[in-house]
A and B are shown apart, each in its own frame.
Chain A
């Protein structure tokens, strides 16, 4: 069964700190890994990592994918209170006949205190 494990489950930091969120996965055939940020309701898309794109960066956020060791990390530098959210990692197994079923981890709840 495909599985995604995120750690830590929760994290409390102060503004300005740098955080690293972890995501490890077991999947029969890997296609891609996605990171989402969920504040109050809808998860909002952050990054997609594939075999052809193992490192992504957007502003203070960056992510890398290690396909050999089956994990990804999400880094947030110079954290702000607005970064407080649940960060979700999801993998997309390949060979699903056109389906893009996401298998989610349980998320990391990040709290950034002023």
Chain B
């Protein structure tokens, strides 16, 4: 168990709709990362937040947005959904160890757009 919690686990919605995915990082971890995993693209970095502020941005579409709240949980908002947005969305948290920082993943949220 990585300690990173994601909800919902599964979600089916129609094209054009909007959904919100939620993530709670491991207790004490200040960073939250969002990744998208689709069959053809593999794991793609979307965005990172650190202590409430955006730290890095990857291949995140303009229809997508995220934020991190004062209690450090994060939400990923996906709007105007298209069939191609169907994917597994992971949240990850950073943990500092003896040799550096390691990223630990939550169980993911399966999004199916129909």
Contacts and interface: CB of A to CB of B under 8 A. Distances in A.
A114 interface: no
A102 B55 contact: no
B95 to A, nearest CB: 9
A107 B104 CA distance: 17
A34 B102 contact: yes
B99 A103 contact: no
A20 B101 CA distance: 26
Nearest to B43: A104
Interface string A94-108: 001111111111110
Contacts of A34: 102-103
Contacts of A43: 43, 90, 105
Nearest to B6: A42
A98 B55 contact: yes
Contacts of A105: 42
Interface stretch (A10-18, A48-56, A63-71, A76-84): A48-56
A41 B108 contact: yes
A98 B105 contact: no
7 contacts: A36-B105, A41-B107, A48-B99, A96-B56, A97-B56, A100-B48, A101-B33
A48 B50 CA distance: 22
A52 B99 CA distance: 8
A54 to B, nearest CB: 11
Given A41-B88, A99-B56, A102-B35, 13 more contacts: A31-B100, A36-B105, A42-B90, A42-B108, A88-B43, A97-B56, A99-B50, A100-B31, A100-B33, A101-B45, A102-B43, A104-B43, A106-B42
Interface string A30-64: 01101010000111110010101100000000000
